[in-house]
């Protein structure tokens, strides 16, 4: 008699290439037994060797199911067919170019049973993909949609109780759709009784997709995209009352899916025609769905963008975006000390603003020409200034959030600064687990007046990055840079010239 299936894994597949083998290998190697898992691959009309590869898998492994369908061009249809076939107590969606750690299914299922959870969000490690830095700071139980960091990762790569999905008839929108995963995930999360977060195991590896083979990587169509965003907002409206939670979710989409598209590289690196078409669609959805009462709750620079979206022009948005792009940051260690089994660090983030975007006169913002900055102050800019620290083992992509005390300093004439203090306890810094033996580096996500920048923490203005070595005894030590590393940080071109001059025998 076959064991009860604990987890069904649904994988939509379309021309995945060689990376598919890593996905398949990670699923077949799971510590949860084959009798307790089923792997459902739905081939969405692949035109390479994938159909034959999948049929061979099904013939070799009794817990593998394969279905072939005509190409739908989007993941909704294959995922839905996989749900129709699934028999497991829980279901996990995996993309064909991602992969799992060996104990992922076992740990997710154990967490679900322990917490009686309808949904378990396992730690996602982004490889070229952004992951909210505070979502996986620690294990959590019984969280809801009011937990802010959860609102910023709405991918379907989480464990769902299948009975919840079937009870409410939840399925992904099919056809050519953007944000179809948000529609499904939000509908499930709003109905979930309990959601847990498993932060202390790097279970799901989320890979940057091959844009040539990804349906969602096709040319951005603003009419389709913002039409689909309206459907996502309809889900929010259906499950919330007017008030704080709905406002927070609307602000998440206003920031992430609307205003991010009219600032930064997503705007500057597009043609004038694309910018105009995008702004026209954005102005339409803003007028219809985002009330002016939300504007004052936006971070500093996004309030300025929002004013231009409501009343401005493409030219003014371009000017603002170009000035934003010139802002740079450097995070420098001012003091690093080992204290027992912990590391204490004092850091300063230096901000350069050569375009003088963030100028203030007696606390009032001296906005660029054409930008309405009358309601924005220096205090608004300071309120939107923050730093999140994360620790990463050298050679790995998994990151651990480091709690820090952050003190933004008043803006100068053309620059600013942010002071930080943090303690890194080796025994618990890895989301409650000890840090692994070896070398680790600090990264910073810096928000300067709401403008996001990423930076390595360095030992000095022209020094290598700060590196901490964890010994076998679990004690930390600061890695002192060699002379070569100091020269490389100060003048990398000089090191390359010296290396070439030494010849092939070097």
pLDDT digits (tens, 9 = 90+) for 90-120: 999 999 999 999 999 999 999 999 999 999 9
Quick check: 348 and 420 in contact, CB under 8 A?
A: yes
Confidence at residue 413, expressed as pLDDT on a 0 to 100 scale: 62
> How would you class 347 by CB atoms within 10 Å of its CB: exposed for 0-12, middle for 13-18, buried for 19 or more?
buried
Token pair listed for 32: 């949860």
Structure confidence at residue 412 (pLDDT): 72
Mean pLDDT of all residues in 167-172: 97
Average pLDDT over residues 158-182: 95
Residue 211 scores a pLDDT above 50: no
In this prediction, residue 208 carries a pLDDT of 86
Straight-line distance from the first to the last Cα atom of the chain, in angstroms, rounded to the nearest whole number: 65
Share of the chain above pLDDT 90, in %: 81
Point out the least confidently predicted range of 70-74, 139-143, 347-351, 379-383: 70-74
pLDDT at site 495:
40
Q: Are 92 and 10 spatial neighbours (Cβ–Cβ below 8 Å)? A: yes
Give the Cα separation of 413 and 429 in Å (integer). 38
Cα atoms in the Cβ-side hemisphere of radius 13 Å centred on 500: 5
- Determine which helix (DSSP H) or strand (DSSP E) holds 245, and give its type and residue range: helix 244-253
Q: Is the pLDDT of residue 356 over 60?
A: yes
- The yes-or-no verdict on residue 216 having pLDDT over 60 is no
Residue 490 pLDDT: 45
Q: Which of 11, 78, 75 lies closest to 41, judged by CA?
A: 11
* Mean pLDDT, residues 262-277: 89
Helix (H) or strand (E) holding 65: strand 64-69
What secondary structure letter does DSSP report for 80?
A: H
pLDDT tier at 246 (50, 70, 90 boundaries)?
A: very high
Is-contact 117 164, C-beta < 8 A? no
Lowest mean pLDDT among 310-324, 476-490, 491-505: 491-505
Checking if the pLDDT of 27 tops 90, the result is: yes
Q: Averaged over 288-314, what is the pLDDT?
A: 94
Instruction: From 357, 369, 374, select the one nearest 313 (Cα to Cα).
Output: 369
Q: Which of 149-158, 202-211, 433-442 is the least confident region? A: 202-211
User: Cα-atom radius of gyration of the chain, to the nearest Å?
Assistant: 25
Query: What pLDDT, on the 0 to 100 scale, is given for residue 133?
Result: 87
Residue 476 above 70 pLDDT? yes
Read off the pLDDT of each residue in 188-200 and give the average, rounded to a whole number. Answer: 97
Mean pLDDT across the stretch 287-314?
Answer: 94
Phi, psi of 427 (to 5 degrees): -70, -20
Contacts of 356 by beta carbon, 8 Å cutoff, 6+ apart: 413, 414
Average pLDDT over residues 214-227: 74
**Average pLDDT, stretch 274-293?**
95
Q: Among 376, 380, 400, which residue's Cα sits nearest to residue 390?
A: 400
Least confident segment among 217-231, 300-314, 338-352, 444-458: 217-231
How many angstroms separate the Cα of 197 from the Cα of each of 35, 117, 147, 460?
26, 10, 11, 37
The answer for residues whose C-beta is within 8 angstroms of residue 59's C-beta and 6 or more apart is none
| Average pLDDT, integer, range 189-207 | 96
Averaged pLDDT for residues 122-128: 95
- Rank 29-38, 173-182, 220-229, 350-359 by mean pLDDT and report only the highest: 29-38
Query: What is the structure's pLDDT at 504?
Result: 35
pLDDT at 373: 85
Ordered by where they begin, the domains of the chain are 7-215 (3.90.550.10), 219-325 (no CATH), 329-494 (no CATH)
Q: Is the pLDDT of residue 337 over 60?
A: yes
Over residues 233-239, the mean pLDDT reads 97
Of the given ranges (313-322, 396-405, 429-438, 475-484), which has the lowest mean pLDDT?
Answer: 475-484
- pLDDT of 224 higher than 60: yes
């Amino acid at each position: 008699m076959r064991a009860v299936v604990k987890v069904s894994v649904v994988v939509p597949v379309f021309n995945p290439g060689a990376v598919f083998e890593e996905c398949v290998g990670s699923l077949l190697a799971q510590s949860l037994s084959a009798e307790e898992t089923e792997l459902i691959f739905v081939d969405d009309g692949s035109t390479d060797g994938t159909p034959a590869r999948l049929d061979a898998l099904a013939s070799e492994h009794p817990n593998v199911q394969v279905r072939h369908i005509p190409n739908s061009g989007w993941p909704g249809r294959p995922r839905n067919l996989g749900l129709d076939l699934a028999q497991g107590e829980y279901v996990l969606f995996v993309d064909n170019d991602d992969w799992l750690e060996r104990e992922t299914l076992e740990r997710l299922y154990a967490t679900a049973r322990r917490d009686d959870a309808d949904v378990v969000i396992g730690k996602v490690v982004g490889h070229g993909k952004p992951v909210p830095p505070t979502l996986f700071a620690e294990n959590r139980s019984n969280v809801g949609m009011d937990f802010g960091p959860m609102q910023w990762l709405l991918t379907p790569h989480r464990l769902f109780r299948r009975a919840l999905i079937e009870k409410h008839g939840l399925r992904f929108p099919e056809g050519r759709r953007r944000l179809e995963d948000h529609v499904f995930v939000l509908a499930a999360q709003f109905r979930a009784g309990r959601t847990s977060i498993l932060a202390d195991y790097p279970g799901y590896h989320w890979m940057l997709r091959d844009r040539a083979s990804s349906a969602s990587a096709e040319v951005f169509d603003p009419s389709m995209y913002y039409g689909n965003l309206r459907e996502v907002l309809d889900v929010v409206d259906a499950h919330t009352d007017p008030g704080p939670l709905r406002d927070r979710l609307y602000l998440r989409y206003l920031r992430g899916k609307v205003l991010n598209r009219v600032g930064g590289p997503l705007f500057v690196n597009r043609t004038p025609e694309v910018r105009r078409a995008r702004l026209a669609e954005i102005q339409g959805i803003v007028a219809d769905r985002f009330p002016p009462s939300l504007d004052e709750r936006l971070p500093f620079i996004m309030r300025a963008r929002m004013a231009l979206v409501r009343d401005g022009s493409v030219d003014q948005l371009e000017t603002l975006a170009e000035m934003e792009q010139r802002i740079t940051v450097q995070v420098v260690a001012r003091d690093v000390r080992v204290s027992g089994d912990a590391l204490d660090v004092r850091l300063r983030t230096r901000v350069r603003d050569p375009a003088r975007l963030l100028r203030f006169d007696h606390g009032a913002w001296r906005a660029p020409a054409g930008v309405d900055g009358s309601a924005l102050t220096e205090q608004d800019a300071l309120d939107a200034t923050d730093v999140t620290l994360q620790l990463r083992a050298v050679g790995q992509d998994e990151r651990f959030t480091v709690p820090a005390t952050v003190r933004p300093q008043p803006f100068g004439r053309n620059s600013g600064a942010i002071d930080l203090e943090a303690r890194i306890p080796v025994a618990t810094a890895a989301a409650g687990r000890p840090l692994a033996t070896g070398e680790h580096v600090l990264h910073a996500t810096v928000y300067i007046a709401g403008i996001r920048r990423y930076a390595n923490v360095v030992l000095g203005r022209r020094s290598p990055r700060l590196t901490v070595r964890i010994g076998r005894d679990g004690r930390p030590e600061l890695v002192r840079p060699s002379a070569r590393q100091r020269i490389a940080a100060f003048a990398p071109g000089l090191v390359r010239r010296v290396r070439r001059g030494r010849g092939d025998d070097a």
